[in-house]
Amino acid sequence: MIKTYYLDVLTKHYVDFAGCVSRKPYWLFVLWNAIVFILLEIICGFLGDTGNIIYALASLAVFLPSLGMAVRRLHDSDKSAWWLLLYLIPVIGWITIFIFLVLPSTPNRFQK
């Protein structure tokens, strides 16, 4: 399951912003990402400053795939990726984006 929903995104769809992704693959990617980073935080906690550098590099490495998944998830609910700019608005924007990400799939212009 981790290979299908996490590792494949990091390898095969690293900067893939086209198309759609349904709710299940998106939220399983988010879940696996959270688990990996919790474990990484625990491990890096023992390494001091070196651990902070490793954690920062891992965060940068996963930033583009996470952004790509969010864009494709918005496409699946027939929203433009420009809606992600709502992240710049504290609380209200975050809640709005969360609601968009949990919306069910709809037939839309972004599907291949």
Q: Is the pTM of this model over 0.85?
A: yes
The secondary structure of 42-87 as a DSSP string is: HHHHTTTHHHHHHHHHHHHHHHHHHHHHHHHHHHHTT--GGGGGGG
Q: What is the separation, in whole angstroms, between the first and last Cα of the chain?
A: 25
The four Cα atoms 50, 56, 61, 62 give a dihedral, to 10 degrees, of 130
> For 48-98, what is each residue's pLDDT tens digit?
888 899 999 999 999 999 999 999 999 998 899 999 999 999 999 999 999
Single-letter residue type at 73: R
Give the least confident one: 8-12, 32-36, 103-107.
103-107
- Whether 112 shows a pLDDT value over 90: the answer reads no
- The predicted pLDDT at position 19 comes to 86
Single-letter residue type at 100: F
Torsion over CA: 29, 31, 36, 37 (sign): positive
- Side-chain half-sphere exposure of 76, counting CA atoms within 13 A: 20
- CA pair distance 45, 27, nearest whole angstrom: 27
> For 1-21, what is each residue's pLDDT tens digit?
788 888 898 999 889 898 889
- 4 or 28, greater pLDDT: 28
